Amino acid sequence: MDKRIYGYFEDDDSFHLTTIKKWEEGLSVSGIQKYLENHVLKSLRDDFLPALKTYKKKNVGYFALMRIIFPYITFLGSLYRGIDETKSALQFMVDYMGRVDDEYRHKAGVYYVAHRHGLLHTNSSKIFIYGKKKLGWYVSFANVGRRNRGDFLGSNLGMYPRLFFDDLCSAMDLYIKDFDNNRKEKELIKNFKKGFIKMAKLHSIKDVGRDKTVRQLVRRGLRKYGVVPR
């Protein structure tokens, strides 16, 4: 494994090629919080809010808005638990979005699988069925309000993108503040390091999986760009 990453540095609020060891030695709680605020939370807002404004005017982009949000939850799960797996994202939703609205503690799994997995892998949210009971879904641009919150996490897999976005931003605020909690700080920092390194490390052919066809096509592309595969 290459020991270099594009690490975040608090001093200039930017990213530089460095060694994992040097990055870890310079990492602080305030640096983690600054990264999360300036490069994750701000990025989410900059991605989502202009898109919502544009799509809402034309009554389009329902799926696109959810495709903006869910990858952030996936990444936050990796930072929170230190492992890039579905269960990490679900744990973030349960532990942090669940503090924003208790319904997430119970429904995070079905929401994530139905909307995130459905849209990113099959271009449509999933419908669940158990015996004769069916759980459908819908997406709405309706204004944010208490009445809509009941519908949002109600009987169907309703998705109000603006509500979902607001809840995720609030959850992120809670996550960022928890780095100041002496009881949670050590575990959060350890997992953050693992998740960040997974994202920021330099990739080689070995990192694209074992499938021979995939490796061959990636190698072909790297050669075309003049990069010598490791």
List pLDDT tens digits, range 155-202.
678 888 999 999 999 999 999 999 999 999 999 999 999 999 999 998
Please indicate whether residue 228 or residue 79 has the higher confidence score (pLDDT).
79
pLDDT value, residue 94 = 97
157: which strand partners?
Answer: 137
Q: What is the DSSP string of the chain?
A: ---EEEEEETTTTEEEEEEHHHHHHH--HHHHHHHIIIIIIHHHHHHHHHHHHHHHHHT--HHHHHHHHHHHHHHHHHHHHSS-SHHHHHHHIIIIIHHH-THHHHHHHHHIIIIIIHHHHHSS---EEETTEEE-EEE--PPPSHHHHHHHTSSSEEE-HHHHHHHHHHHHHHHHHGGG-TTTHHHHHHHHHHHHHHHHBPP-GGGG-S-HHHHHHHHHHHHHTTPPP-
Please indicate whether residue 206 or residue 87 has the higher confidence score (pLDDT).
87
Q: Alpha-carbon Rg of the chain, whole angstroms?
A: 20
Summarize pLDDT for 29-65 with one digit per residue, the tens: 999 999 999 999 999 999 999 999 999 999 899 899 9
Counting other chains too, the contacts that 38-41 makes at CB distance below 8 Å and 24 or more residues apart are: 38/13, 39/8, 40/72, 40/75, 40/76, 40/172, 41/169, 41/172, 41/173, 41/176
Q: Cα 67 from chain centroid?
A: 10
pLDDT value, residue 137 = 86
pLDDT value, residue 228 = 67
- Share the mean pLDDT of the chain: 90
- Indicate whether 129 pLDDT > 60: yes
pLDDT value, residue 18 = 96
pLDDT value, residue 154 = 63
- Indicate whether 19 pLDDT > 90: yes
